[in-house]
Amino acid sequence: MGKAKIKIEKELYQKIEKIAELAGYSSPEEFIIHLLEKEVAKFEGADSEEEIIKRLKGLGYIS
């Protein structure tokens, strides 16, 4: 899978580095990817993982 680079301000990166370490992420990159994935999921409509589970459980067949 290909990778793309993005640029962010150094000052912001330093903050991210600190928070990522405090939050137990293995790298700032992992932290950023996690945050972005969460945000992207919000825009992908109702079919996020959590939403799928909530919807399916309402059927009664799964708990």
Between 14 and 30, name the residue whose CB sits nearer to another protein. Answer: 30
Of 10-18, 24-32, 50-58, the window that binds another protein (rule: CB under 8 A) is: 50-58
Q: What is the dihedral of CA 51, 54, 59, 63, to 10 degrees?
A: 140
Q: CB of 43: closest distance to another protein in angstroms?
A: 8
Residue 48 neighbours by CB under 8 Å, 6+ apart: 41, 42
Our finding on whether 18 is near another protein (CB under 8 A) is: no
Residues in the site for another protein, rule: CB under 8 A? 42-47, 49, 52-63
